[in-house]
A = this chain, B = another copy of it.
C-alpha cells in the first residue's frame, strides 16, 4: 500500500454538498480495489479538488474515481510525508 494525491480539475463552483457526495461515492466502492480515500480538499474558485488516498496502485485510484463518476487524470504517488 502506498499514498497517493490525485487532482481533479474543471470543478469550478463545486459545493460542499457535492464534495461530500463525491467522497461518499468513492468510499462506497473503494474496498473493491483495496483503496481508502482519507481526505479531500476543494478550491471551488479555481475548480481544483485534491484527494489523498492509500492504495495498491495509481490505477486502482483511477478505477475507483472513474466508477464513482468523477474520472481523474493526475494521480501522484507521494511516498514521502511530513507532519
A interface with B by C-beta (< 8 Å)? 3, 5, 14-16, 19-20, 23, 38-46, 48, 50, 52, 76-83
A39, B80: Cβ atoms under 8 Å? no
Taken together, the copies of this chain in the complex come to 2
CB closest chain-B residue, reference A24: B82
The smallest C-beta distance from A52 to any residue of chain B, in angstroms, reads 7
- The 8 Å CB contact of A44, one of B45, B48, B52, B80, is B80
A80-B16 contact in complex given A41-B52, A52-B41, C-beta closer than 8 Å: yes
The interface residues of chain B lying within 8 Å CB-to-CB of A19 are 80, 82
The smallest C-beta distance from A57 to any residue of chain B, in angstroms, reads 14
A48-B76 contact in complex given A43-B5, A83-B39, C-beta closer than 8 Å: yes
